[in-house]
């Protein structure tokens, strides 16, 4: 089945691309691994894929500089861990392409007892080394599927992945400086900076109570390997259950704030309408994107796949609970739903978990079926898409149609 | 009671074991590949190259959904006012024309 799908789903071999090429793609065949169709409504929907980034396998190219690389859905077909060479890559500003470990420092300052400048060894010895398995998902994952479409990085659903993150607790690093009375938030900055003077630096902050959680890390390890440059060498913040915009990479500064954060990427960007709006709405109140809602995806089949009439059908996929453990996954169609069987809890509450459901006999086409996740807090994926102007936090039930033959 | 309350937190943190990476930090470097996409010919291409490509590789520009000329003008305005992009005001109409032009072309490979 896989071979059929690949040819039909426009995963076109690089050599074949040249024959189809319009001027945009002229001469790029040699540089490319292939093309993939993200099924973005209204297009453009085809994206080049490349294995050319060091340490990465075949990735969907959304942008070269600064890199935006999407994970092909095929990478989610097995297991709960996304391999490092398939994890999505997202940078707001250009990052340095070389970092000297011995020269790197993390400044801890602001509302602290004593500002300090820490070496990597200082960080590594700040406390117990701990690991957490957690989904890392871009706030804009699935933006390209918004209808009406919105501008920004046109991600399909591959701006996410699940990894084992290893480091020390942020609170142990903060203890090296001592959090002062009246502290409210903790802000992070990395080595990625704007090219132009006066443009906002990509800095993000989290409330102090989140910063002090036992599972919020200053991490150097990703799936038992050191972080690569693309994933934030030497250190990145890990906030399980929160969108990855807060997981600041190439960590260089930790700033304790005694008030609210009025910086651009917290006060003006990465925000959602406080209440549902329509696409023509103007001047509505907004709230920051913070925790992730639950999601589930079918990974065994794609939209338009053909299934065998009269035979049993096994559907499989991944799900996660967002900021709380996954509770259940249901397969939903028009007017019916069937509970799915969850795979073993291998990674804890913030990890991917596999699900499966067997339909005893295919009696006809499956029109617009999807899977719906619910977490233990009762948050459940909505049937209707809640449009927002930046395409954030998509978690509508993703539906596909299967043809019976 | 107090002990019990700490169990969920402990359960999700696997204490460091022999599989965890040693915290020994080696220098890291990276060479980025070239963009697989080139900007196609079209009216205003030079203005786009002069004013946009320092920050935007062609892939991201060519992959945006179709929007109106007014929307492109407002996006260019945001690049100037918020991100301090040194864009020549006289080039804005040409940039808009180019983006509208490339979006009116059939999708390659489609």
Instruction: Give the separation between CA A77 and CA A89, rounded to whole angstroms.
Output: 19
In a domain, A31, yes or no: yes
Note whether A7 and A128 are same-domain residues.
no
> DSSP letter at A81?
P
- The number of distinct structural domains making up chain B is 1
Please give the full DSSP string across B76-87, using - where no structure is assigned: HHHHHHTT----
| Mean pLDDT computed over A236-241 | 98
Q: Do B28 and A228 touch (CB under 8 A)?
A: yes
Structure tokens at A214: 């036992």
Q: Contacts of residue A350 in chain B, CB cutoff 8 Å?
A: 12
Q: Are residues A118 and A52 in the same domain?
A: no
**Residue range A168-225, pLDDT digits in tens:** 999 999 999 999 999 999 999 999 999 888 999 999 999 999 999 999 999 999 999 9
Same domain assignment for residues A61 and A112: no
Identify the pLDDT of residue A268.
94
Per-residue pLDDT tens digits of chain B, which is 110 residues long: 334 444 444 444 444 444 555 577 999 999 999 887 889 999 999 999 999 988 888 888 888 999 999 999 999 999 999 999 999 999 999 999 999 999 998 875 44
Whether residue A26 lies within 8 A of chain B, CB to CB, comes out as yes
Q: Is residue A337 part of a domain?
A: yes
The mean predicted confidence, pLDDT, of chain A is 91
Q: What percent of chain A has pLDDT over 90?
A: 88
pLDDT digits (tens, 9 = 90+) for A335-374: 999 999 999 999 999 999 999 999 999 999 999 999 999 9
> Which among A7, A45, A57, A63 is the top mutation candidate for probing chain B, defined by the most B β-carbons within 10 Å of its own β-carbon?
A63
Residues of B in contact with A349 (CB under 8 A): 12
Instruction: Tell me if B38 and A28 make a contact (CB, 8 A cut-off).
Output: yes
CATH number at residue B82: 1.10.760.10
B37 CA: distance to closest CA in chain A (Å): 6
Tell me the C-alpha distance between A323 and A134, whole Å: 10
- Domain holding B74, by residue range, is 38-110
Instruction: Indicate the DSSP class of residue A28.
Output: -
Does residue A322 sit in the same domain as residue A378?
A: yes
**Cβ contact (<8 Å) for B20 and A221?**
yes
How are beta strands A106-110 and A251-257 bridged, if at all? Answer: parallel
A141 in Cβ contact with A154 (< 8 Å): no
| HSE-CB of A12 using CA atoms within 13 angstroms | 20
Contact between chains at B85 and A101 (C-beta distance less than 8 A): no
Q: Is A3's pLDDT higher than 70?
A: no
State pLDDT tens for residues A112-122.
999 999 999 99
Question: Are A128 and A221 within one domain?
Answer: yes
- Find out whether A60 and A72 touch, Cβ atoms under 8 Å: yes
Across the interface, whether the CB atoms of A31 and B57 are under 8 A apart is answered: no
Which tens digits make up the pLDDT trace of A173-189?
999 999 999 999 999 99
State how far the Cα of A314 lies from the Cα of A317, in Å rounded to an integer. 10
Rounded (10°) angle between helices B69-81 and B92-104: 130
Residue B108: its pLDDT value, please? 58
Return the closest-CA partner of residue B75 out of B98, B45, B96, B51. B96
Cβ atoms within 10 A of the Cβ of A140, count? 25
User: Quick one: B106 exposed, middle or buried, by C-beta within 10 A (0-12, 13-18, 19+)?
Assistant: exposed
Which residues of A fall within a CB distance of 8 Å from B33? 31, 50, 52-53, 64
Q: Is the pLDDT of residue A6 over 70?
A: no
A149/B66 Cβ within 8 A: yes
Q: Of A226, A253, A269, which marks where a domain is finished?
A: A269
Summarised one tens digit per residue, pLDDT across range A267-316 is 999 999 999 999 999 999 999 999 999 999 999 999 999 999 999 999 99
How far does the CA of residue B95 sit from the closest CA of chain A (Å)? 17
Name the residue in chain A with its Cα closest to that of B54. A195
| DSSP state string for A301-318 | --TT-EE-TTS-EEEEEE
- A290 is a domain residue: no
- Cβ–Cβ < 8 Å for A294, A395: yes
Sign of the C-alpha dihedral, residues A272, A273, A277, A282?
Answer: negative
* CA distance linking residue A120 with residue A235, whole number of Å: 8
In a domain, A201, yes or no: yes
Average pLDDT, integer, range A126-139 = 98
Question: Shortest CA distance to A229 belongs to which of B56, B22, B24, B27?
Answer: B27
Task: Quote the ipTM score.
Answer: 0.80
What is the bridge-based pairing of β-strands A341-342 and A353-359? Answer: antiparallel
Alpha-carbon distance A132 to nearest alpha carbon in chain B (angstroms): 5
Of B37, B54, B84, the CB nearest to A28: B37
State what percent of residues in chain A have pLDDT above 70: 92
**Do A20 and B62 count as a contact with CB atoms less than 8 A apart?**
no
Question: Chain A 261-290, CB below 8 Å of chain B: which residues?
Answer: 264
Residues from chain A that touch B57, judged by Cβ atoms under 8 A, are 63-65
In a domain, B8, yes or no: no
Residues whose CB falls within 8 Å of the CB of residue A166, separated by 6 or more in sequence, listed in order:
A129, A130, A131, A217, A219, A220, A221, A222, A224, B16, B20, B21
Give the model's pLDDT for residue A34.
86
pLDDT at A99: 97
Q: What is the CATH number of the domain that holds A158?
A: 3.90.420.10
DSSP string computed for A83-130: PTTTS-EE-SSPPPSEE-GGG--EEEEESBSS-EEE-HHHHHTSS-EE
Window A:209-238, CB contacts with B under 8 Å: 214-215, 220-221, 224-226, 228-230, 233-234
What's residue B20's pLDDT? 53
Q: Could you give the CA distance from residue A193 to residue A375 in angstroms, rounded to a whole number?
A: 37
């Amino acid at each position: 089945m896989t071979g059929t799908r690949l040819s039909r789903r426009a995963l076109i071999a690089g050599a074949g691309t040249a024959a189809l090429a319009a001027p945009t793609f002229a001469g790029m065949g040699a540089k490319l691994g292939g093309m993939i169709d993200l099924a973005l409504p209204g297009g453009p929907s085809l994206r080049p894929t490349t294995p050319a980034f060091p340490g990465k396998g075949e990735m969907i190219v959304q942008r070269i500089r600064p890199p935006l690389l999407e994970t092909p859905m095929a990478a989610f077909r097995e297991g709960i861990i996304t391999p490092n060479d398939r994890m999505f890559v997202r940078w707001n500003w250009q990052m340095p392409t070389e970092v000297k470990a011995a020269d790197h420092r993390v400044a801890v300052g602001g509302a602290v007892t004593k500002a300090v400048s820490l070496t990597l060894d200082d960080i590594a010895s700040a406390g117990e080394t701990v690991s957490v398995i957690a989904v890392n998902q871009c706030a804009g994952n699935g933006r390209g599927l918004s209808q009406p479409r919105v501008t920004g990085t046109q991600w399909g659903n591959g701006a996410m992945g699940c990894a084992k993150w290893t480091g020390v607790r942020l609170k142990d690093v903060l203890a090296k400086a001592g959090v002062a009375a009246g502290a409210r938030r903790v802000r992070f900055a990395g080595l990625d900076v704007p090219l132009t003077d006066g443009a906002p630096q990509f800095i993000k902050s989290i409330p102090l109570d989140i910063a002090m959680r036992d599972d919020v890390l200053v991490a150097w390890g990703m799936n038992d390997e050191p972080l690569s440059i693309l994933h934030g060498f030497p250190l990145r913040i890990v906030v399980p259950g929160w969108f990855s915009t807060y997981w600041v990479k190439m960590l260089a500064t930790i700033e304790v704030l005694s008030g609210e954060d009025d910086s651009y990427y917290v006060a003006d960007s990465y925000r959602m309408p406080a209440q549902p709006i329509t696409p023509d709405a103007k001047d509505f109140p907004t709230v920051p994107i913070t925790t992730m809602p639950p999601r589930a995806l079918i990974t065994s089949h794609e939209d338009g796949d053909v299934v065998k009439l009269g035979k049993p059908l096994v559907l499989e996929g991944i799900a996660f609970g967002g900021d709380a453990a996954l509770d259940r996954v249901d397969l939903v169609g028009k007017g019916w739903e069937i509970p799915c069987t969850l795979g073993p809890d291998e990674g804890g509450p913030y990890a991917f978990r596999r699900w499966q459901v067997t339909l005893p006999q295919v009696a006809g086409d499956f029109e617009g079926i999807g899977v719906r996740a619910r977490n233990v807090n009762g948050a459940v994926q909505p049937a209707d898409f809640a449009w927002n102007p930046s395409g954030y936090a998509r978690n509508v039930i993703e539906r596909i149609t299967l043809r019976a033959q | 009671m107090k002990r019990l309350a700490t169990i969920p937190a402990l359960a999700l943190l696997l204490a460091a074991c022999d599989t965890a990476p040693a915290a020994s930090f080696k220098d890291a470097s990276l060479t980025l590949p070239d963009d697989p996409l080139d900007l196609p010919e079209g009216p205003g291409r030079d203005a786009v190259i002069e004013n946009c490509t320092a920050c935007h590789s062609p892939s991201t520009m060519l992959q945006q959904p179709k929007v109106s000329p007014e929307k492109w003008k407002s996006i260019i305005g945001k690049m100037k006012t918020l991100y301090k992009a040194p864009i020549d005001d006289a080039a804005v109409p040409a940039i808009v024309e180019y983006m509208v032009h490339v979006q009116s072309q059939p999708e390659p490979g489609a």
